[in-house]
Amino acid sequence: MHTLSQLKSGELSGIRHLTLSENLTSFPLEILSLADSLEILDLSNNQLTSLPKEVIQLQNLKIFFASNNHFETVPEALGQCRNLEMVGFKSNKINHVPENSLPAKLRWLILTDNQISALPDSLGERPRLQKLALAGNRLTHLPQTLAQSTNLELVRISANQLVECPDQLLSLPKLAWFAFSGNPFSQSDVNIQSVPEMPSTSFTLQDVLGQGASGVISKAQWNHHQVLFPDDIAVKEFKGEVTSDGYPKDELQACLKVGNHPNLVKSVAQVKEDGYLALIMSLIPPHYKNLGLPPCFQSCTRDTFPLGFSLSIEQIDKIVTQMEEVFIHLHVNQVCHGDLYAHNALFDDEANLIVGDFGAATMYHMLNEKQQAQIKQIEHRALHHFIDDLLSVCADDDKLSKQFIRLKQKITHC
C-alpha cells in the first residue's frame, strides 16, 4: 500500500505497481508522472466515479483495478490504453459498459457485483479474452459475439437474470471453468435434504481454517455429544451476499446434491436459519496440505505451485485417478464443479486426494440433453488442464517414464 503524499513527493518514481486507498474522490493526476514504468494500478476501496481522459498516457499499464468504488460507467479512456490486459471493477454501481471502453488487448475482465443489464458486442471482439467474471449483475442476455471468443477459458455468469442458457458459450473450444447458477434458466425447485438440519446452537466455532469468496471455514466442536456425527468437525459459514461465483445458497444445494464420495469433503449436516446459512463437514486431518496455488496475473487461468515443488509420477498418477473418479461422480449427479483446480484440492504424503470448494458449482439437470453434454465436455477440459498442471511439476527423473507419457497422451487432444 502506498500513500498520496509519497506519490506527490516523487518518492514513488519508477515503480511498476501502485496501490492507493485513501477515500479518493478524484484521480490523482500525479499518477501520470509514473507513465514510463507503471504496469499495475490498484485504486480499489476509494470513492471514485470517473477517470480523466489523460489516463491513456499510461501506455505501459497492463492491469487496472478499481473495486469498491462508485463508478456507474466503465471509463471509455481505458479502451485506449494500448497495453491494458486486465480490468477489474468489482462491487461498483456500473450499469453501462460503452462499446469503446474495452481495451484491444483485454485478457481478463472483472465486473462482478454491479448493476449491468447488457454488455456491448465489442466484448466478443477482443480475441485475447481468457477470463470473464460477470456474477451478480442484472444481465438478461449475453452478446452473440461471444461465440467468437475462441480463447475464453473461464466464465462466471452466476446470479444474473439470464432466461436462456447462453449457447454461444457452450461450443467455445477452450472454455473449461464455467459457473452459471442463480439464473432463471438454471433455477431448480429441488430442495435437497441429503443431510439433516441442525441448529447453530449445536456447535461452537474455534480456529479459522480458511476463507474464500463465499464464506469462512472454522474448526468447531459439538456442544453436546452426537451419536450420528463425527466428533471432529468443521463449519463453513456462508456469506449472505453475492460472491464472485454466485449465491451461497446455490453452492450449498449443489454440494448436497453431489452427496458423499471418498475424495470429497464429507458433508454431515446443514444449518438453515434466518440470516445464517452453514454447512457442517467432517474435519480434514491436519496432515493434508494444498495441492496447488491459485492462478497469478501471468498464468491467468492456470494453477501455480510453490517454487521447487515437485511430485513423483506415482503420486501424480494416483492423484489423477482419484480426480477422474471425482469427475465421474460429479457428473453422474449432474453437477458441474466449475472450479476443478489443484488449488481447490488437498493431498497427503500417500497422494490421497480431497476435493473441496463448491463455490462455483452448478446443478445442470434442468438443461436439455445437448447442453448437458456440452457442460460435461467443458469440465472435461478442466480435468485435462488439472493433469497438465500436475505434469508440469513432475520430478525430472520421471519425465521419460511410461506413466508420464501415458498421461501426456491423454491430454494431447484437450
We report the CATH number of the domain holding residue 243 as 3.30.200.20
Which residue type, as a one-letter code, is found at position 328?
A: I
Contact 76, 101 (CB under 8 A): yes
pLDDT of 308:
95
What sign does the CA torsion over 133, 369, 161, 123 have? positive
pLDDT of 398:
96
Same-domain pairing of 180 and 329: no
Q: Tens place of pLDDT for every residue, the chain, 414 residues?
A: 899 999 999 999 999 999 999 999 999 999 999 999 999 999 999 999 999 999 999 999 999 999 999 999 999 999 999 999 999 999 999 999 999 999 999 999 999 999 999 999 999 999 999 999 999 999 999 999 999 999 999 999 999 999 999 999 999 999 999 999 999 999 877 667 778 999 999 999 999 998 877 789 999 999 998 888 999 999 999 887 777 777 888 888 888 899 889 999 999 999 989 888 999 999 999 999 999 999 999 999 999 999 999 999 999 999 999 999 999 999 999 999 999 999 999 999 999 999 988 889 999 999 999 999 999 999 999 999 999 999 999 999 999 999 999 999 988 755
Could you tell me the pTM of the whole model? 0.94
Grid cell in block for residue 268 = 454431515
State which of 251, 282, 313 marks the end of a domain: 282
Same-domain pairing of 179 and 246: no
pLDDT of 311:
98
Same-domain pairing of 88 and 233: no
Give CA angle at 347 (228, 193), nearest 5°. Answer: 35
Same-domain pairing of 61 and 100: yes
Q: Rounded to 5 degrees, what are φ and ψ at 120?
A: -75, 155
Task: Give domain status of residue 195, yes or no.
Answer: no
Task: Give domain status of residue 310, yes or no.
Answer: yes
Report the CATH number that the domain containing residue 133 is assigned in CATH.
Answer: 3.80.10.10
Give the DSSP letter string of 29-94: GGGGGGTTT--EEE--SS------GGGGG-TT--EEE--SS--SB--GGGGG-TT--EEE-TTS--
Same-domain pairing of 406 and 260: no
Annotated binding site: 236
Same-domain pairing of 29 and 91: yes
Same-domain pairing of 258 and 301: no
State which of 262, 282, 302 marks the end of a domain: 282
Task: Give domain status of residue 192, yes or no.
Answer: no
Q: Rounded to 5 degrees, what are φ and ψ at 12?
A: -95, 10
Grid cell in block for residue 288 = 493434508
Euclidean distance between CA atoms 370 and 90, whole angstroms: 33
Task: Give domain status of residue 193, yes or no.
Answer: no
State which of 260, 282, 304 marks the end of a domain: 282
Task: Give domain status of residue 94, yes or no.
Answer: yes
How many structural domains compose the chain? 3
Euclidean distance between CA atoms 249 and 6, whole angstroms: 44
Euclidean distance between CA atoms 347 and 291, whole angstroms: 6
End-to-end CA distance of the chain: 41
pLDDT of 53:
96
Same-domain pairing of 319 and 266: no
Same-domain pairing of 57 and 99: yes
Beta strand 233-238 with 276-282 is antiparallel
Same-domain pairing of 277 and 239: yes
Which of 129, 78, 128 lies closest to 99 in space, CA to CA?
A: 78
Same-domain pairing of 276 and 324: no
Task: Give domain status of residue 303, yes or no.
Answer: yes
pLDDT of 413:
59
Task: Give domain status of residue 127, yes or no.
Answer: yes
Task: Give domain status of residue 194, yes or no.
Answer: no
What sign does the CA torsion over 92, 98, 100, 104 have? positive
How far, CA to CA in Å, does 350 sit from each of 266, 287, 317, 388? 20, 10, 12, 20
Give the DSSP letter string of 88-136: E-TTS---B--GGGS-TT--EEE--SS------GGGGG-TT--EEE--S
Same-domain pairing of 171 and 223: no
Task: Determine the structural domain holding residue 255 and report its residue range.
Answer: 200-282
Annotated binding site for ATP: 236
